Structure 1
Amino acid sequence: MPTLFRFLFICGTIVGLVYLTLWSFAVFVEPRERDVTVRIPSERINPVEQ
C-alpha cells in the first residue's frame, strides 16, 4: 500500500501545481489591448458575376 499512497501523493502534487499555475496566470497576467484590422478582399464583398 505505500506505493499506492506515494503514487496518489505525486499525482495530487502535480495536479495542485498545474492548478496553482493556471490560477496565477488568471490573476496576475493582464492582457494587452490592441486594435485588430482584418482586410477583406473586394471580391468577397462584391462577387463578380460571370
Structure 2
Amino acid sequence: MPSLIRFLTFVGVLVAVGFGAVYALATFVTPRPREMTVTIPAARLRPPAATAAAPLPRTAGTDAALDGGATSTQ
C-alpha cells in the first residue's frame, strides 16, 4: 500500500506542475497580433470549365427503348 500512495503522490505532483505551467503561460504571456497574408493560386478560384455530358452507355434496356420495344438478340 505505501507504494500506491507514493505513486499517487508522484502523479499528483506531476499534474500540479503541469497545471501550474499552463496557468503561468495563460497569465503571463500575451500574444502579439500580426497581419497574415495567404496567397491562393488563381486556378483554385476559377470554377472548372463545363464539359459536354458523355452519352449514356448502350445497355439491353436502352437498346429495347431505342428499337421501339423490340427485343435484341446478340
Same fold (TM over 0.5): yes
Letter in 1 for 2:16: G
Counterparts of 1:3-42 in structure 2, within 5 Å, are 3-42=3-42
- After superposition, the C-alpha distances for 1:5-36 in whole angstroms (9 at most, x for unaligned) are 11110000000000000010011111111001
Same amino acid, percent of matched pairs:
40
TM-score, L = length of structure 1:
0.86
User: What's the offset of the Cα at 1:47?
Assistant: 3.7
Structure 1 match to 2:43: 43
Give the whole-Å Cα distance in 2 for the aligned partners of 1:48 and 1:8: 61
Larger RCO, structure (CA 8 Å, separation 6 or more)? 2
The size of the alignment, in residue pairs, is 50
TM-score, L = length of structure 2:
0.61
Structure with the bigger percentage of helix: 1
Letter in 1 for 2:41: P
Aligned-pair Cα RMSD in Å: 1.3
